[in-house]
Chain A
Amino acid sequence: MLKRKSLMRSAAIAGIALVAGLAVGDGAMAANEKLKIGVLGVMSGPAASWGLVNRYCAEARANMINEAGGFEIGGKKYDIEIVSIDDRNDPKLAVSGAERLVYEDGIRYIIGPNIDTTAAAIVPVIEKGGAMNIPYAFSKDLYSPPRSHSILGMIASYQAGPVIYKYLQEKEGVKSVAFVARNESDSLNQREEGVAAAEALGLDVLASKDTYEAGTTDFFPVMSRLVGLKPDLIVLSGVAPSDAPLMLKTARELGFQGLMSTETAQDAKILSEVAGDAANGFISVGGASTPEIRSEFMETFSKRYEEVAGEWNDEAGTKVYALEILLNTIKTAGPEAIEDVSKFKAQMDAFKMTNPFLKDGRDLHFVGAGFFDQKRQISVPMVVNVFKDGEFETLFVGSVD
């Protein structure tokens, strides 16, 4: 009996020691405080890749930061926690998602949403809740005074379009153009901007009203009319990565010999799988994807992205910048900016860092004053790509400035 009692006492002491040891160990290796960043966007349905790429980019970069010991702000290390919400491209869900992120999770910095309607819907939540967000929507109203809480996360169609059309006009002798857009607000807005830019350059606009419905799988009826107009260039306005290869393939099957372009980011693997050789010569906008321009850091990032998402997506080349510039601007503004976005905003005009994703070491900063009367856009490089034999090749690199 005594022996048993002694044994129990020994076990109890050992248990206490173990708990104490764990506590001491825990204290010695104290976990960093968490800095939560929200990702709000479409992560299911036909446009799922737009929001999921935002999420995967943020998660991949956060994993890299956390494994390196955290992100230092004001001499203190923070682990980055990504909180993601799928808004299904529905303004109601976007508002409830933003409310959850801002009011329940206390998040002040959100990446997303992806389209004009959802981005506009959450503006009151963002402003009232004292938060900042980085939408991937192109409406100028979001970024122009009196609005000040949203930062455009990529190159807008009205910025890339004129540059691409002018390049094709000068280098390829393009004289006529036909536009086609998905029948929803973002694509239609992008088409209107594209038509205005083409007309300003003196191009003959042969089609400016053609649309197709979301969920279209057979593009023969849509493309037959456009190809019949015999334009030098067909512009796929605001086209989703799932639609672009089908439209390219259909146009070539209908005998179209001219050029095709878009102002949105596309994925080489999807183009290759669905359109094959029909996608050769297709011009689109990228970010830091092409091997000619990406840095070693970007190579490392893309491997980490593959671990998170399962495979690389070229859309990530335009979306890799959001978390990087958010964290580094907070760092420059100081720890108060974690809760007080006015400190963040005060840094935006002067902030700059070296772009870690590109070889040329150009600056990453905030731009857009020429379009929005204030710096409310990330200086994502305007990388214009052409698709050739399964890969993108860089045609030229421009900038919004």
Chain B
Amino acid sequence: MEQVIINGIYSGMQYALIALGLTLIFALMGVLNFAHGQMYVLGGFVTYYVYGVMGLPFVVGLAATAATLALVGVFFEFVIFRRVLKLSVREESTMLVAAGGALFLESLVLIIFGEKHRGVPSVISGVWKVGDAYMPYGRLLVVAMSALLIGGFILFMQYTRQGRALRALAQDREAAQIQGVNVDNYSMLGFAIGATLAGLAGGLLVSISGVNSGLGTWISIKAFIMVMIGGAGVVPGAIIGGFILGMLESVGYTVLPGGETYLVIFVALIAFLAIRPQGLMGKPWG
């Protein structure tokens, strides 16, 4: 039982980190970023290359990942989404562009990094055994770093000028503009942070799970589940959604090993959304 709870907490922490960036971009721009999983994958490959291939320290790999994905986020917002959002008010336009972006990134990663699954040595080796539960130190490090990143992100959003501007933008774009917030620049900043969070999640987890070019779609699907559980565009909702999904998976694979776990999760999600379509922490009006 201890192992089931620990598995749930560990999965929940990594899922929360993955979902944060997705919900941030949705909150700021109303864009469902289908390329979120592919950004995670790109982040994993950058860390793999810098840490695993070039042999530089893991933190340098993460820094390179953050910088690369921030640039990718800026590119996506400035070159693609800003123009589409100005030209079209139809939501499906941005959805199609995001789906195209996902395919583009996936193909790019396949061409650059190849078809193989890649991984790097654990940053810390060894396993901590408590009672009947096993906790590898590498996983504990990822949990700690994920907690730091999530905490840092919340503090940034809560107590910095940029964070307040981003929150204002998320609450009411026009009112924020009237109050002097540069909507274009802050949209770009928000997209860059969202992409960076996705990339850092990939970078952190490459030491545990590795990465391959085709992983992005599944990462995006799971991120969408978490965001729907917690409430689209709500940061605490994404974190709660991540932990709920992590715990559901952990308990599900223990109790229902025969492949019913995700069937039950999806059925429960449909029933939940039928009762509360805005998710746990979302508002019915958006």
A225 & B253 in contact (Cβ 8 Å cutoff): yes
User: Is there a chain A Cβ closer than 8 Å to B215's Cβ?
Assistant: yes
B117 & A45 in contact (Cβ 8 Å cutoff): no
User: Is there a chain A Cβ closer than 8 Å to B218's Cβ?
Assistant: yes
User: Is there a chain B Cβ closer than 8 Å to A217's Cβ?
Assistant: yes
Q: Which residues of B contact A214 (CB under 8 A)?
A: 218
A46 & B214 in contact (Cβ 8 Å cutoff): yes
B116 & A267 in contact (Cβ 8 Å cutoff): yes
Shortest CB distance A262–B (Å): 15
A207 & B214 in contact (Cβ 8 Å cutoff): no
User: Is there a chain B Cβ closer than 8 Å to A96's Cβ?
Assistant: no
User: Is there a chain A Cβ closer than 8 Å to B146's Cβ?
Assistant: no
A52 & B253 in contact (Cβ 8 Å cutoff): no
**Identity of the chain B residue whose Cβ is nearest the Cβ of A255 in the assembled complex:** B134
Query: Which residue in B116, B259, B261 is a CB contact (below 8 Å) of A313?
Result: B116
Query: How far is B261's CA from A273's CA once the two chains are assembled, in angstroms?
Result: 30
Surface stretch bound by A, among B7-15, B226-234, B274-282: B7-15
Proximity bits, A255-266, B CB within 8 Å = 1, else 0 = 100000000000
A254 & B254 in contact (Cβ 8 Å cutoff): no
A217 & B117 in contact (Cβ 8 Å cutoff): no
Query: Which residue in A45, A209, A211, A253 is a CB contact (below 8 Å) of B214?
Result: A45
B116 & A215 in contact (Cβ 8 Å cutoff): no
User: Is there a chain B Cβ closer than 8 Å to A374's Cβ?
Assistant: no
Shortest CB distance B61–A (Å): 15
Q: Which residues, 1 to 25 on B, are CB-close (under 8 Å) to A?
A: 3-4, 7-8, 10-11, 14
Q: Which residues of A contact B121 (CB under 8 A)?
A: 276
Given contacts A46-B214, A215-B218, contact A209 B257 (CB under 8 A): yes
Q: Which residues, 306 to 339 on A, are CB-close (under 8 Å) to B?
A: 309-311, 313
Count of chain A residues near B, Cβ 8 A: 45
User: Is there a chain B Cβ closer than 8 Å to A63's Cβ?
Assistant: no
Query: How far is B7's CA from A215's CA once the two chains are assembled, in angstroms?
Result: 17
Most buried by A among B3, B11, B117, B249: B117
**Identity of the chain B residue whose Cβ is nearest the Cβ of A224 in the assembled complex:** B3
A221 & B215 in contact (Cβ 8 Å cutoff): no
A45 & B217 in contact (Cβ 8 Å cutoff): yes
Query: How far is B252's CA from A224's CA once the two chains are assembled, in angstroms?
Result: 12
A246 & B210 in contact (Cβ 8 Å cutoff): yes
B106 & A211 in contact (Cβ 8 Å cutoff): no
User: Is there a chain B Cβ closer than 8 Å to A300's Cβ?
Assistant: no
Query: How far is B120's CA from A240's CA once the two chains are assembled, in angstroms?
Result: 19
Proximity bits, A351-390, B CB within 8 Å = 1, else 0 = 0000000000000000000000000000000000000000
Query: How far is B148's CA from A288's CA once the two chains are assembled, in angstroms?
Result: 48
B10 & A245 in contact (Cβ 8 Å cutoff): no
Proximity bits, B109-137, A CB within 8 Å = 1, else 0 = 01000111111111000010100001010
**Identity of the chain B residue whose Cβ is nearest the Cβ of A242 in the assembled complex:** B117
User: Is there a chain A Cβ closer than 8 Å to B250's Cβ?
Assistant: yes
B116 & A49 in contact (Cβ 8 Å cutoff): yes
B217 & A44 in contact (Cβ 8 Å cutoff): no
Q: Which residues of B contact A269 (CB under 8 A)?
A: 116
User: Is there a chain B Cβ closer than 8 Å to A212's Cβ?
Assistant: yes
**Identity of the chain A residue whose Cβ is nearest the Cβ of B255 in the assembled complex:** A225
Grouping DSSP codes into helix (H, G, I), strand (E, B) and loop, the A interface class, with mixed when no group exceeds half, is mixed
A274 & B117 in contact (Cβ 8 Å cutoff): yes
User: Is there a chain B Cβ closer than 8 Å to A64's Cβ?
Assistant: no
User: Is there a chain A Cβ closer than 8 Å to B65's Cβ?
Assistant: no
A222 & B116 in contact (Cβ 8 Å cutoff): no
B209 & A218 in contact (Cβ 8 Å cutoff): yes
Shortest CB distance B256–A (Å): 9
A44 & B254 in contact (Cβ 8 Å cutoff): no
User: Is there a chain A Cβ closer than 8 Å to B262's Cβ?
Assistant: yes
Shortest CB distance A77–B (Å): 33
**Identity of the chain B residue whose Cβ is nearest the Cβ of A55 in the assembled complex:** B115
Q: Which residues, 132 to 189 on B, are CB-close (under 8 Å) to A?
A: 134, 136, 139
B214 & A48 in contact (Cβ 8 Å cutoff): yes
User: Is there a chain A Cβ closer than 8 Å to B270's Cβ?
Assistant: no
Q: Which residues of A contact B110 (CB under 8 A)?
A: 44, 48
Query: How far is B4's CA from A164's CA once the two chains are assembled, in angstroms?
Result: 32
Q: Which residues of B contact A224 (CB under 8 A)?
A: 3-4, 7, 253-254
Given contacts A241-B117, A245-B119, A311-B114, contact A207 B257 (CB under 8 A): yes
User: Is there a chain A Cβ closer than 8 Å to B46's Cβ?
Assistant: no
A44 & B7 in contact (Cβ 8 Å cutoff): no
B214 & A47 in contact (Cβ 8 Å cutoff): yes
Query: Which residue in A53, A209, A215, A254 is a CB contact (below 8 Å) of B217?
Result: A215
Most buried by B among A210, A217, A310: A217
A218 & B3 in contact (Cβ 8 Å cutoff): no
A221 & B114 in contact (Cβ 8 Å cutoff): no
User: Is there a chain A Cβ closer than 8 Å to B52's Cβ?
Assistant: yes
Proximity bits, B234-249, A CB within 8 Å = 1, else 0 = 0000000000000001
User: Is there a chain B Cβ closer than 8 Å to A213's Cβ?
Assistant: yes
B253 & A246 in contact (Cβ 8 Å cutoff): no
Shortest CB distance A230–B (Å): 13
A-B contact pairs, 11 of them (CB 8 A): A44-B107, A48-B110, A49-B117, A209-B258, A218-B209, A220-B139, A222-B253, A222-B257, A225-B254, A270-B118, A275-B119
12 additional contacts, CB 8 Å, given A207-B257, A245-B210, A273-B118? Answer: A45-B217, A48-B110, A48-B212, A52-B115, A183-B259, A211-B258, A218-B208, A220-B250, A221-B250, A221-B254, A225-B253, A270-B117
